[in-house]
Structure 1
Amino acid sequence: MAGRRRELYALCSKYDVIIVEDDPYWYLQFPSSTNSERVFTPQSSKWKSSGYDFLDSLVPSYINIDTDGRVLRLDTFSKTVAPGCRLGWITGQPDLIERILRLTETSTQQPSGFVQSMIAELIIGPQADDVDPGKGPSNGKGWSTAGWVRWLEGLRGNYERRMNDMCRVLDTGRELLKVGRRSSLSNLSLDSDDEWAVVQTTTAYSFDWPVGGMFVWVKMHFETHPLINKVSGARLSRALWIFWTIKPYLVLVSPGLIFSPTDEIRNKDGYKFFRLCFAACDEKEIEPISHRFVDAVNDFWKIKSVKKIDDLLEEAGTSVEQRAGEADMAKLASFMGPC
């Protein structure tokens, strides 16, 4: 990974390309999903230490190797404090930052003042009140940078546990077992009752264990569904999305179609993918919800009636939105944009 970053940087340097490193989930990297050779320390990777072991253990930023001043790194509090905390910061060389500042003065101006004050008090601490000097904590301090890094490390650990819980369950449901009967090949008698029991496996979906963030991307293999020769993959995808939301499953996931940047991608591959968010529900509910997700896939692959698919598609629209508001609905979906 470090070598590839240096190669990409060298290429951008050769052709004078600015690198915008937008990495909101950088702090949420999972060691359990990371190969040992990708775990970094200042000693092993020759990066300059940040002074915090947790930050030094993460895959280095392009800022670490920026010798030309061509990297702009974007960070945000929205993924680590609260979804509505739309506040971030940009790291880069002074000349680039100055140009960005001038542009924002005549366009977006400042982020929310309320969010700025909340984050400032959280990290820096409440300011002394001239009228009431006793206002705020006794030491008048906030988390400081060390406390902020400690919070990030704890949050990463919490999300990593959730990811492991979800992926372990998903691993059990990738392959579906199909049991059938086949006449014995060793007995060619036409009136023989001898048969073999045949067990076949069918891949319903595949996924990679995420190395960071708060999502698991699942690719459905609709080409293995019994109705694929009668119902298009896109219609099966829509029907499955609805099927997840009915009882006893009650799981709401994000369809890949909403993340497809073009119609070509949407029609070719977008419908095959679904995004599951393991940060959107209580940690203790991750395993039960994941089991319901898997059970729904298993039962959906047992559907052999085109009419059943048509009936599910007729339920699309208001009925799905109504069920999405049910108290028992497990919301593994996050519709707050593609990031």
Structure 2
Amino acid sequence: MNGAHYEQQYLDLLRQVWDHGDERRDRTGVGTRSLFGPTMRFDLSDDRIPLLTTKRVAWKTATREMLWFLSGSTNIRGLVEQGVHIWTDWPLDTYNRATREALDRDAFEARILADDAFAARWGELGPVYGKQWVDWPVYEPVEGGLYRKADRGIDQIAALVTSLRTNPTSRRHIFTGWNVAELDRMALPPCHMTYQYHVADGKLSGMLWQRSCDLGLGFAFNAFSAALLIRMLAQQCDLAPGELVWSCGDAHVYLNHAHLVEEQLTRTPRGEPRLTIARRPETIFDYAIGDFAVTGYDPHAHIAAPVAV
């Protein structure tokens, strides 16, 4: 393998943020060190995928989350049924604050699975990512100069696939989750918020712009998921994968992740994992977890760190 390992740019950014970032208090009360405006590029040709190797990344969990986004679901029950816990902390915190109970995650998730009414009430995250991606709300005029919400909104993902297929040189291959009117109803406003795509020489490249990125925990999922989506779109549109361009507004490390940073920066990236897709389903909404496989992945051990809610 020629040149620097693809992961080195991430490690360099992690070190830069930790050593030189502006230290600030944040929404969670934990505190961060932050830099503004970094960009990284990852080659996706020959099945390459930007999985971090300096710690183990649960890529199947990230894949299940992406499929959940594409389903339009906004309730954690579908994730919990698959053993995915990454969205549970937000509704659990809401429940414990509202009821003054002190349920732990396991007890809360058990009730989500066992009780339909409880899941509908407490497992809901509001109109987060998937809702905006495939059902952006539309309002129709009615009598008296008023408007009502239409039964079905705009499917940005389906429109994107059509646009890539029929007008590949367009500069409007974009979708976003940043619906200003609904931010206050979301458990967490979208961090990976805007995606844009570019076709050249039969290759599909994608840019992800994040308003905010937790480099210690979130980045590993964000980069993999964005690359995964490029691969799925490319397959659906008869294109080869090009590259992922990752760009961020506030790139930060939480102050209670010092152990993670210090340990990860002692490790050397290794290997070059590949992602393969076993079949091409009828639409981008019909992929299943069994369609994806990662080979050549030999990461260092997982590094545990708390999530700031």
- For Structure 1 versus Structure 2, the TM-score category normalised by the shorter chain is under 0.3
> As a proportion of its length, which structure holds more helix?
1
Which protein shows a greater Rg? Answer: 1
> As a proportion of its length, which structure holds more strand?
2
Higher RCO (CA < 8 A, seq sep 6+): 2
TM superposition score normalised by structure 1: 0.22
TM superposition score normalised by structure 2: 0.23
